[in-house]
Chains A and B, each alone.
Chain A
């Protein structure tokens, strides 16, 4: 399969990249890991006139885990880097658990977290993890930088809020205030498949009580689902069997699955229920708490 013809630039500065996108006037696209975009242009689902390859831009490959537990994931940090980061595993278990479940090991060599957020696939995994931890995206355009909460960043299936001349430069996960706990579970038919259903749970505990909670679902709706009611039901609670059951019920209710070749809607809802229960139960046995 051959993509249709396009022009290609690999600028060496961010300003230059933004300038090229600006000139492209909506017909140019950013090329990051290429693990979603290249398949799309090969299938000719997308036919951009210009690809602006950001892989040679300096400074975007930094994965910075600060002492306060905040995390900055540059636009060229690959799934593989996140999978292998011991710092990430220490401070943010939900992100560390998601990384090895993205695609397959070879796709993970090139694909990026930021690219995955930009691609806004309703079945993508990173958007769920970043939603659960309450992250945001930093974008830069001709007018400067702005910060966009993840909930506002994705506007629909395969659609994000970026202007045509903006580059997403990093994703930021805020510093936790309590003890961090969480997990990510995904049901896939085989390695490299997108989620039949996936669940990200991120908690902060103060003592025995939940002080912050995020639960997000993937594969069970036309976009990543922020299961707010389920997460809120945990605030101030001790993770009792009853509290866990209630959160699992509310998360399953928040899911909007369709029946398809991956399973019936009822089945996917059931999987979400099981995943929320499983992650929260594991947290009570402390195995998934960050140090």
Chain B
């Protein structure tokens, strides 16, 4: 359906109008020729093979596809890839450091913040944006901040605990 390529300076498939975009993905500049109708979620998953970004509902409801665009959470199933041109995108693959997990990942692991894990990447990125704005949230603030992300498994209890634990770690308290 879509002609795209990355980092290969070849002409796109004939007859399909494409636009070249350059997006900083997890700090790395990535270039692709995309059809305007390509969604950011599909560029990330199929184009860049970053399959940590999940698509759960495809109707802008579940938040599984949440990524950060210029540090703010966005449902990548509801943004065109062309719109990300020149912007910075962070996916779950960009959370861990070279030798250590991100405190949010540690938090989800330690507090059993996931069961099937489908919602987890979106949860963690929404939580990252939340903690950047509010490093010491109350439980209610975490619940409100994550209310755009649905989980079918956990009942949310341990997700909230995981985010609070990560917040404490990131404040240097644990």
In the complex, whether B145 has a CB less than 8 A from a CB of chain A is yes
Kindly specify which of A34-42, A62-70, A150-158, A247-255 makes contact with the partner chain: A34-42
Known A3-B37, A104-B148; contact A8-B79, beta-carbon cutoff 8 A? no
Complex alpha-carbon distance, A90 and B1, angstroms? 50
In the complex, whether B61 has a CB less than 8 A from a CB of chain A is yes
For chain A, the bracket of interface size reads: 20 to 34
In the complex, the chain A residue whose C-beta lies closest to that of B130 is A105
The answer to whether A38 touches B145 (Cβ under 8 A) is no
Chain B residues near A110 (CB, 8 Å)?
74, 78-79
Chain B residues near A7 (CB, 8 Å)?
17, 36
Chain B residues near A6 (CB, 8 Å)?
36-37
The answer to whether A5 touches B37 (Cβ under 8 A) is yes
The answer to whether A106 touches B82 (Cβ under 8 A) is no
The answer to whether A105 touches B75 (Cβ under 8 A) is no
The answer to whether A106 touches B66 (Cβ under 8 A) is yes
In the complex, whether A169 has a CB less than 8 A from a CB of chain B is no
Complex alpha-carbon distance, A55 and B74, angstroms? 15
The answer to whether B37 touches A192 (Cβ under 8 A) is no
In the complex, whether A241 has a CB less than 8 A from a CB of chain B is no
In the complex, whether B59 has a CB less than 8 A from a CB of chain A is yes
Scan residues 187-235 of chain A and give those whose CB is less than 8 A from a CB of chain B: 191-192
Known A34-B78, A42-B58, A106-B63; contact A4-B147, beta-carbon cutoff 8 A? no
Chain A residues near B146 (CB, 8 Å)?
105
The answer to whether B83 touches A107 (Cβ under 8 A) is no
Q: Tell me the minimal C-beta distance from B29 to chain A in angstroms.
A: 19
Complex alpha-carbon distance, A35 and B77, angstroms? 10
The answer to whether B145 touches A105 (Cβ under 8 A) is yes
Q: Tell me the minimal C-beta distance from A163 to chain B in angstroms.
A: 24
Q: Tell me the minimal C-beta distance from A52 to chain B in angstroms.
A: 11
A2-46 CB mask vs B (1 if < 8 Å, else 0) is: 111111101000000000000000000001001100110111000
Complex alpha-carbon distance, A42 and B39, angstroms? 10
Complex alpha-carbon distance, A89 and B67, angstroms? 29
The answer to whether A34 touches B145 (Cβ under 8 A) is no
Complex alpha-carbon distance, A10 and B19, angstroms? 11
The answer to whether B82 touches A38 (Cβ under 8 A) is no
Complex alpha-carbon distance, A10 and B61, angstroms? 26
Residue with the greatest number of chain B CB neighbours at <10 A, chosen from A4, A5, A100, A106: A106
In the complex, the chain A residue whose C-beta lies closest to that of B55 is A1
In the complex, whether B80 has a CB less than 8 A from a CB of chain A is yes
